[in-house]
Amino acid sequence: MSETPVYSRITGTGSHLPEKIITNADLEKILDTDDQWIRERTGIQQRHIAAEGETTSDLAYEAAVKAMQAAGVSADELDMIVVGTTTPDLVFPSTACLLQARLGANGCTAMDVNAACSGFIYGLSVADNFIRTGSKKKVLVVGAETLTRMVDWNDRTTAVLFGDGAGAVVLEASEAPGVLSTHLHAAGEYADLLTATAGVSKGFTAEERGGLKIEMKGNEVFKVAVRTLGRIVDETLEANGMEKSDIDFLVPHQANLRIISATAKKLGMDMDQVVVTVHKHGNTSSASVPMALDEAVRSGQIKPGMTVLLEAFGGGFTWGSALIKM
């Protein structure tokens, strides 16, 4: 007699944003830019900024608590914590370990995943595969960032883009399909198009390169992002024997409204089937997909039984998708 297949299902979502908001009008005072220029090129109107002393693990904790409450899962029930982040509190211990201690989930597996803006999708895939093997039953997956710590506020091409925040989901083992499939890719040959300028082995100071900051060749990133996200949409649908019309909602990485619109067009979806938060949050990297998902779930946009496509693209380059039955 064959065993019942094990799937993972999202049973709770949560998110958290820092209190401080910087609007486009605020940026006009310090940069050679204006609200219209920012909106036309990105769709962003404002972004949240972590307060002095407020860390990635602080944001992750608040989002995690909300997700666990929604799922009805306590810290001592967690088998694993995966945090997608490119802005950890420390080099080590991992942000996941710091979060584990704060939650009181001591003893479970805890790890960070760094795939830049694709970090949550990568983390979700890791958790899903652990559950499918039967080795884990309840996993907390978080995407959390304090990217504004790396922003060069004199560079208008990047300063207008990024914000801070955290989103989380609880995945639980289930006999009913939840996460239908995940698809992950990377292309390291594009590293110079979107990169941080310093690190541990390269050196944190790196005065000759201006210290730690984000550098991006925006036009090139846009072209590759639209092309690769289009391909992964086809890959995801083909893997599940589905048509574009089978997707109820798209929850994309919130980097740029033009990229989001291009992906929706590829799916033949109206924008009212796309969760858009980029205007309020900016690009929060690995936090953007789980935050957008949480907002859509709590607002009633996304309902149980819907088929939802999550996708993200980030520095590396990395990109990934997850097809989910809610």
C-beta separation of 178 from 22 below 8 A: no
C-beta separation of 289 from 143 below 8 A: yes
The region that residue 267 occupies, defined by phi over 0 for left and psi between -120 and 50 for alpha, beta otherwise, is alpha
**Residue among 16, 48, 253, 281 flagged as catalytic:** 253
Strands 138-146 vs 80-84: parallel, antiparallel or unpaired? parallel
DSSP code string of 268-302: T--GGGB---HHHH-B-GGGHHHHHHHHHHHHTSS
Q: Which residue has the tokens 């967690």?
A: 78
Active site residue 279: no
CA dihedral sign of residues 269, 296, 16, 31: positive
Active site residue 219: no
**Residue among 117, 183, 256, 281 flagged as catalytic:** 117
Active site residue 117: yes
C-beta separation of 7 from 173 below 8 A: yes
Both tokens of 62, joined, read 């608040």
Q: Which residues are catalytic?
A: 117, 253, 283
